[in-house]
Structure 1
Amino acid sequence: MSEQQQNTGPASFSHLFPVPPGTPTTEQKPPSTQQQQQQQQPAVEHTNTLSSNAGVDYVIVFRFPTDKRDATIETRVRDSMIALTAKLTRANLCYQVKPGRTHGTLLVLVGCPTSTLEQELERERIRDFLLGIRVKGLDDEDAGLGDTTGLTDAERLRVVYEILTGPESDGGANVSPNLDPYVESIMALHDDRFDKEWIHSWSRKWLIDKDDLTKIRNHFGEKVAYYFAFLQYYFLWLIAPASVGGLMVMFGGRSLSITYSLGMLIWSVTFIEMWKRKEHELAVEWNVRNCSKHERKRVEFKGDRTVKDQVTGEEVPYCPPWKIFTRRAMSIPGVAIGAAALSVIVACVFVLQLFLHEYYNGPFRQILHYAPTIGYVLLIPTMTNIYSAWMRILNNYEMHKTETSWEYHYTQKIFVANFLVAYLSLFFIAWIYIPFGDHVLPYLTELNVSHSHQKVDFQRLRGQLVYFVVTGQLIGFATEMILPYAMKLVMPKVEKVLHKDEGQDADTATDLSDDAASSKFMQKVYKEVDLPDYNIYTDYVEMVIQFGYVSMFSSVWPLTSLCCLINNWVELRGDALKIFDLSHCVLKVWVPGLETWKH
C-alpha cells in the first residue's frame, strides 16, 4: 500500500449509497513533481510480515445493517465511514476501502508510512526512557531514536496499533470498536510463509528451544511468547511428579499417601517460585520490565478532570483514589451474589447427578439417568455467560485507568466461575458426600423412595477426577481443534450454497480487484476476517485449572500428572496450530509477564 492510496477512502465506497445533494466530496489534486519523486520511494518499512501482506498492517472491519433500505441509516453509515477515514488521514496513515465478502461489510486496509512510524517510535523511546523502561541512555543510540532498523514484526505492529488506537491529542487516529459506530473489529493479518515454516519446524521437535521462543516473541509479541514459555516450563516440571506417580501405580503403591501429598505440596510451591524467577529473567532479556508504566489510559476512563502528568507533561484524566476505592468496594457484594448464584446452580446439578446415579432405583431410572447431563449442558454455560456479563458490568463500574488493570480485575472475577465449575464437585464429594453419604439412606426410606446404594468411599472422588483429567481434556481438545477444523472444511461449501442465488457471492466479490495478485490477497483477507478472535484467557484458564488438579488431587489418583504431561505435549502444538490457522492474528501487546495468572 503506497501513500498515494491515502485519500481513496470515500471514493471506494460511495457507489454503495446514493450521495445526497450537498454532501462534501474529497477532490484529489494531481501530485507535484516532488510528490511524484517521493511516491517512487517505498512508503512503508517492509518487514517480513508487511512484505507478505501487500503493505497492510491492519484491517478495520466495518459492518452495517442491510436488512432494509433506510435513508437515515445510509446517511449515518456514510458519515461514520467518512469520519473514520478522516481520522486515518489526520494520523497520516494510508488506507484503502474494499468491499467485504458479504453484503453490509467494508474492509479498511490500513498501512503505516515510514515517516509516521519513525515519529511514533521516537516519541515512544523518549517516553520509555523517562519512565525508566529503557535502560540505555538517549545518547547511547548509534542511530536515531526513530530508526526502524532491526524492528521486529511484533514491535512494528504494536507501534502501528498504538497510532491507530491512540488519542488524537498524541497524534493517534483514536479508532476503536467502542467509539466508532459500525467498526466491528481491528485485526492484523497472518504471515502465511512464517506460519508454514514454524509449523513445519515444530512438527519435527520434541521441545521448543530458546531460539523458538525468540521467534515467537519477535513475531507474535511478548504476551503469546510468555504463554508458550510457561507451557513448556510447566511441561518440563511435570516430568518429576508424573514419573513418581507412574512408579507408584506400577509397584502397587497406595493412593492417598501422606508422603506423596506432602511431596506434591512442596513441588507446587517450588514450581511457582521458580517460574517467577524464570519470568523475571525473560522480562529482562526481552526488555519489557516495568513496561506497564508505558501503558496509555483506557478510552473509557474519563475521570473527573484532567491534570498534567509530572513525567511526560501530558494532560491526562484524573479521578480521586477514594472514589475508585469506593466503587471497587461496592462491587464486592455484586461478585459475591453472582458467585453464590452460580454455586447453587452447580451444586444442584451435581447433587441431582449423585442422587440419580448413586441412590435412585425407581421408575424411569434409565431415562432420568441422563437428566443431570442435560441440565449441565443447558444451565452451566448459560449461567456462566450471565455471570461473565454481570462481572463485565461491575468491572466497567470500577473505573480502571488502563487495560492491564481492567483485565487484571476482570480475570479475577471471571476465574471465580471457572473455579466453581472445575472444583466444586470435587470438594463436595471429598468434604460432604464421602463423610455423610450414608446418612441419606434413612431419609430416603422415610420418603418411600426406592433406592440402592453401596458403601461410600473415595473411589467416587477418583472417578470424578479421572473424568476431569482424561475425558474432560479430550473433549476440550475436540472442541478446540477437531471441531474448528471440521467447520473450516464444511462452512465454505455451505456458504457457496447459501450465496449461489445472490447477486454477489463469496467468489465474485474479488472480481472488483485490479489484478490476479490483488484478487489472491483479498481472498486471504476474506478468509481471515471470518476467523474468530484468539482469546489467550481460555488457554491460561485451562492450564491453571489443570495445575489445581495436579497440586491438590494427585494423591487421589497418582496418574494425574502423567495424563497432564501428555496433554500438555499435545497442547503445545495444538495451541500453535490454533493461533496460526484457526483464529485472527494475535494483537501484539507489551506485557511484563503472566500478570494475573501467577497469583
Structure 2
Amino acid sequence: MGSFQQDRAEIDKHQQSKDSIFFRDGVRRIDFVLSYVEDNDDARKLERRAIFEANLRHVGLELETEDKSESEDGKTYFVKIHAPWEVLATYADVLKIKAPFRADDILENREMPMGWLATPSASQKTSCTRVYYILSRCSYIQDCECDKKGIKRLLNNGTYTAAFPLHDCRYWKSSSYSNCESDRYKLYRYWARFLCFFKEQPINLIRKYYGEKIGLYFAWLGFYTEMLLFAAVVGTICFVYGLLTYEENEWSKEICDKKIGGNIVMCPLCDRKCGYWQLSKICNSTWLNYLVLFMTLFLEFWKRRQARLEYEWDLVDFEEEQQKLQLRPEYESKCSKRKLNVITQLTLIIACIVGVIAYRLAVYAAFASIMKDSPTSHLHVVGPYITPQLATSVTASCINFIIIMILNFMYERVAIWITDLEVPKTHLEYENKLTMKMFLFQFVNYYSSCFYVAFFKGKFVGYPGNYAYFFGSLSKLRNEECDPGGCLIELTTQLVVVMTGKQVWGNIQEALVPWLMNWWGSRKARCHPESLYSRWEQDHDLQPFGQLGLFDEYLEMVIQFGFITLFVASFPLAPLLALINNILEVRVDAWKLTTQFRRPVAAKAHCIGAWEEILNAMAALSVVTNAFIVAFTSDMIPRLVYMYAYQPDGEMNMKGYINNSLSVFNISEFPAESRPEDGENPSWFNGSVTTCRYRDYRYPSGHEKQYFHTMQFWHILAAKLAFIIIMEHVVFMVKFVVARLISDVPSEVRARVKRERYLVQEYLHNYEVEKLKMQLQKQDHDEYCPCMLIPKIT
C-alpha cells in the first residue's frame, strides 16, 4: 500500500485529458499497461503480483497504479509502466536495435525523414518492444525457479487480465490534446477506410506505428493484390472468349442436338436407384466445360520489393541476430528439462493428414452416391437447368465447406499443441514450425476435395457389368462417375463454393465479430463522461492482438493463392474473385487493426518467413496440377487426338466426337444387382433399347477383346503423358529463365549496402589510426620516432 501511495502524483485523473498517455505527472510516458481484478480469496495471485512488480522496479522500470475506484467498471486495477532512458539504452544493446549510421546517408525520397526516429510515437514503438522483453522474462516467485517467470504465464493463470501498449488517442477525430500524436488518426483517415481502396498504402507510416513485422505483411498483401490485377485480366479474357465462341463448339452442339444427344441412351449412374437417361439432359451444363506465368513474376518481383524494404528498414542482418539473441522464454525455462522425439511428432502429423484425406473422400463419395438416387425422370423437380450431377456437386461442396470450417477450429489447436511440445528456441523458429504444421493441415483440409474431383473422381469406376465400389463391393457405394462432359464443371463448382464461402466467412469473422464484441464490452463506458474513461481503459476494452495475430492473415491469403494457382486451369475467374476480395481485405485488416484491436507489441521481421517457401512450393506444384487438370480432367487431349487421328471424314473438326468418345454396353449383360429397379426408368425407355453408352474407350460386346480398352485409349493416354512432360519442362524452363533474369535484390540496393559497409570499415579504420596516433604522440621522442611506425597521416 505504501508503494502505491508513493507512485501517486499530484495530478488527479479527472484533471487529465481522456487521451492522456502519460503518468499523472504529465511527463513520463506510458510504455505498457497491465490490468487485473483483485481477488481477495486468492493470496497466491496477490503475492505473484507483488513480487513481479517489485522485480520490474528492480530492473529500473517505473510503475504507477490506478485504483479500481477510478476505473469505469469499479473493479479493475491498471498498472502503468514507464521505461527510463537508461533502461531503454541497456536493452537496445541487448536486442541489437540499430540507429542510422550517418544522417546524410538517408534516401532523400523516403516517405518520412530521419527525424521520425526521434518522435514520441516511434520511441514508444521501440520502447514497448523492450518493455515486453523485460516482462516476458521477469520472475514472479521469490526463489526464482526457472519456469516461474514471464507475463504470459501470469496472464494464463489469471494473475493479470491484460498486458498491452497504448494506442495514440482516438482514431475517429484528431485530438485536441497537444501532447497526443495523431498517427492512429492518420492511419484511419487515409488507410483504414474502404473509400481509400484506390490509394497507395502508407507503408512507412504503418511500419512506424505497428512495427516492421506488420508493415511487411501489408506491403506483401498490397503487392500481391497489385499482381492479381494482371492475372485477373488474363483470366477474364479467357472466360469471355469461351462465352463468345460457345456457339462454335461442335461437340456441345452434338450433345444438345435432339437427333444426336437425344438419341444416345446413357447407362445408369448408380446401381438399382438410377435409370437410363438421354445425353441431351446435360446440354445446359456442357458450356461451362468449354472455358478453359503469373506466379513466377509475382514471387520474383516480391523478392525485389522485400529486399528494398529490408534495406530501408535496416533489416538486412536481422534474422541472424534474432536466431542468436532473442530466445523464447519458454525455451529458456524448459530446454534443460525436455527432449522431444522428433520422429514421433512427424508421425503424428502424417497420420493426421492421411486421416483427413480418407475422411474427406469417404464423406464426399457417400454423400454424392446418396444424392444421385433421384431418378432422371424427375429432373423437373430441381429445374430444367440443373442435373442430378450438378445438384450433387453444389450441395456436396456446401457441406464440404461447412466441414472445412469445423475442422479448422480443431486443426489450429492441434498444430499449436504439437509446436509447444517441441519447445522451439526462438520466436522465429516457433512461428516457422507452427506455420508448416498449420499449412499442412489446412492444405489437406481445403484442397483434398478439389484434388479428389480433379484427379480421382471418374478415373476408377470400371465399366457396366464390372463396376468398382468404394470400400469394396459389400459397401454398395459405386465409385463416382463424371458426366460425359467431364469432371471440370464439378471442379469449378467446388472451387467457387469453397473459395467464395471462405472469403465471405473470413471477412465476417475479421470485421463483424470484433466490432460486436467491442460494442458489447464498452456499452456501459459510453454513458460515462470522458474524464472517467481513460486512454488505458479504452484500449483495455478492445480485442487483444495475440503474438500470432498475423498468422491467420497470412494463412488466409496463402490458401487463396493456392486456389488461384493450383486449379486456375479449371476456373479462369478465380484471380478476379481473389482481386475483389483482396481490395476489401486490405481495408478490413487495416480497419480492425486500427479501431478494433489493442495496439500490438511492435516486432521486427526481415521477411515473411516460412510463407515464402510455401509460396515457392505451391508455385512449382501448380505447374504439375494444371498440367494434369488439362490432360486428365478436361477433354482437351481426347478432342485433339480425335480431330487429328480419328476424324472419319479426314477433316479438322469435332463432328462425331461425342459418339466416338462413348463406348457401347449390351443391357442384357447387366448383373441383377446393378439393374435399375422397376419404376426407375423414364417413360421413353422401352424394350426396343438394347444398348446403353458410357464414357470410356472399350471394345463392344461380341468383339474378341470385348470391354478391353481400344487402341484409341492408349493413344490418348500417351498423348496425355507427353503433354504433361512437355508442359512441365517448358513452364519450369520459363520459370528458371525469368528467375535468373530478375535479380532478387535491386542493383541500387546492393550498391547502397556495399557503400554502407565501406563507410563502416572506413570509420573504424580512421578511428583506430587516430587512436594510435594519439598514443604515439604521448611517447617520448627520445625513445623512438612515431613516423617509423606508421605512415604520415594527413
| TM-score (norm: length of structure 1) | 0.70
Asked whether the equivalents of residues 345 and 380 of structure 1 are also in contact (C-alpha less than 8 Å), the reply is no
Deviation at 1:526, TM superposition (A): 3.9
Select which of 541, 549, 553 maps to 2:567.
553
Taking a change above 3 Å as real, the CA distance of residues 559 and 437 of structure 1, as seen in their structure-2 partners, is: farther
- For residue 279 of structure 1, what is the aligned residue in structure 2? 306
CA separation of 1:347 and 1:519: change in aligned 2, threshold 3 A: same
> C-alpha separation between the residues in 1 aligned to 2:130 and 2:238?
53
How has the CA–CA distance of structure 1 residues 547 and 437 changed in structure 2, closer, same or farther, with 3 Å as cutoff?
A: farther
From 460, 463, 466, the equivalent of 2:496 is: 466
2:294 and 2:23 mapped to 1: Cα distance?
Answer: 46
Please give the per-residue CA displacement for 1:437-486, whole angstroms capped at 9, x wherever unaligned: 68699578998889999545310001111113333312322232234434
The match for 1:480 among 506, 510, 513 is: 510
- Give the deviation of 1:291 after TM superposition: 1.4
Contact persistence 2:128–2:602 (CA under 8 A):
yes
Contact 2:554-2:611 within 8 A present in 1 as well: yes
Displacement after TM superposition at 1:123 (Å): 5.0
**What residue number does 1:215 align with?**
205
Summarize the alignment of residues 236-255 of structure 1 with structure 2, pairs less than 5 Å apart: 236-252=226-242
Is 1:188 the counterpart of 2:168? The answer is no
SS at match of 2:65: strand
Match among 451, 457, 471 for residue 487 of structure 2: 457
2:361 to 333, 336, 347: 347
Aligned pairs, number: 495
With over 3 angstroms needed to count, the CA separation of the structure-2 counterparts of 1:26 and 1:591, relative to structure 1, is same
**CA distance in structure 2 between the aligned counterparts of 1:430 and 1:492, rounded to whole angstroms:** 49
* Correspondence 1:82 to 2:50: yes
Post-superposition offset of 1:489: 3.9
- Alpha-carbon deviation of 1:430? 0.4
Work out whether residues 359 and 452 of structure 1, in 8 Å CA contact, stay in contact via their aligned partners in 2: no
Q: Secondary structure at the match of 1:183?
A: coil
* C-alpha displacement of 1:598: 0.6
* Aligned residue among 567, 576, 595 for 1:562: 576
Q: Is contact 1:249–1:559 with CA below 8 Å preserved after alignment?
A: yes
Compared CA separation, residues 387 and 481, structure 1 to 2 (3 A): closer
- Report the Cα distance in structure 2 between the residues aligned to 1:561 and 1:240, rounded to whole angstroms: 9
SS in 1 for 2:164: strand
The change in CA–CA distance for 1:573 and 1:389 in structure 2 (over 3 A counts) is closer
1:503 corresponds to which residue?
none
For residue 551 of structure 2, what is the aligned residue in structure 1?
537
Q: Percent identity?
A: 19
Structure 1 residues 474 and 29 mapped into 2: Cα distance closer, same or farther (>3 Å)?
A: closer
The DSSP-based 3-state class of the residue aligned with 1:238 is helix
Q: 1:279 & 1:579 partners in 2: Cα distance?
A: 22
Q: How does 1:512-523 map to 2 (within 5 A)?
A: 517=531, 519-521=533-535, 523=537
* Change in 2 beyond 3 A, CA 1:101/1:545: farther
Residue matched to 1:261: none
Give the Cα–Cα distance (whole angstroms) in 2 for the partners of residues 597 and 215 of structure 1: 24
Q: In 1, distance between residues paired with 2:94 and 2:138?
A: 14
CA 1:217 to 1:480, structure 2 compared with 1: closer, same or farther past 3 Å?
same
Q: Does 1:62 align with 2:12?
A: no
The CA deviation string for residues 170-198 of structure 1, in whole angstroms up to 9 with x for no partner, is xxx96322257423442222223433322
Aligned 8 A contact 1:360 1:449 in 2: no
Q: For 2:200 and 2:533, how far apart are their aligned partners in 1?
A: 38
Q: Which residue is equivalent to 1:225?
A: 215
Please give the TM-score of this superposition, normalised by the length of structure 2. Answer: 0.54
Asked if structure 1 preserves the Cα contact closer than 8 Å seen for 2:213 and 2:605, the reply is: yes
Which AA in structure 2 matches 1:217? Answer: R
Given that 1:342 and 1:384 are in contact with CA atoms closer than 8 Å, whether structure 2 keeps it comes out as no
C-alpha contact 2:461 2:481 (8 A) present in aligned 1: no
Where does residue 79 of structure 2 map in the other structure? 108
1:488: Cα distance to partner? 4.0
Say yes or no: does 1:417 pair with 2:468: no
Q: Which amino acid aligns with 1:582?
A: Q
Go from structure 1 to structure 2 and tell me whether the alpha carbon gap of 1:155 and 1:559 turns closer, same or farther (over 3 Å shift): same
The match for 1:397 is 421
Aligned-residue offset at 1:148: 7.6
2:316 aligned residue: 289
1:154–1:358: structure 2 CA closer, same or farther, 3 Å change rule?
Answer: farther
For 2:359 and 2:76, how far apart are their aligned partners in 1? 40
Q: Hey, what does 1:96 align to over in structure 2?
A: 64
- Aligned-partner residue type, residue 186 of structure 1: A
Note if 1:175 corresponds to 2:150: yes
Structure 1 residues 205, 381: CA separation in 2 closer, same or farther (over 3 Å shift)?
closer
**CA distances 1:188-213 after superposition (whole Å, capped 9, x unpaired):** 22223433322221345444547x11
Instruction: Check 1:338–1:518 CA distance in 2 against 1; reply closer, same or farther (3 A cut).
Output: same
Root-mean-square deviation (Å): 4.4
Structure 1 residues 30, 353: closer, same or farther in 2, change over 3 A? closer
What per-residue deviation string (whole Å, max 9, x for no partner) do you get for residues 46-105 of structure 1? xx99569973222224357x6xxxx7x421121122122212211222223343766875
Letter in 1 for 2:310: A
SS at match of 1:423: helix
Distance in 2 between the 1:174 and 1:106 partners?
21
Q: Which residue pairs with 2:190 in the alignment?
A: 201
CA distance in 2, matches of 1:349, 1:96: 59
Give the match for residue 300 of structure 1: 330
- Alignment of 1:161 with 2:129, yes or no, is no
Q: Does 1:149 align with 2:118?
A: yes
In structure 1, what is the equivalent of residue 696 of structure 2? none
Which whole-Å CA distance do the structure 2 matches of 1:213 and 1:482 have between them? 25
CA shift for structure 1 position 361? 6.1
Write the letter of the residue equivalent to 2:302: W
User: Could you tell me whether the CA contact under 8 Å between 2:30 and 2:81 is conserved in 1?
Assistant: yes
Larger radius of gyration: 2
Corresponding residue number in structure 1 for 2:688: none
What stretches of structure 2 of length at least 5 have no aligned partner?
A: 12-18, 107-115, 171-181, 247-292, 383-390, 614-794
Q: Deviations over 1:323-379 (max 9, x none)?
A: 97x7434421121122223333333333344334445669xx99x989978976886
5+ residue gaps in structure 1? 1-10, 12-24, 41-47, 142-146, 256-265, 305-316, 497-505
From the superposition, tell whether residues 119 and 556 of structure 1 become closer, same or farther in structure 2 (CA, over 3 Å): same
Cα separation, partners in 2 of 1:50 and 1:597, compared to 1, 3 Å: farther
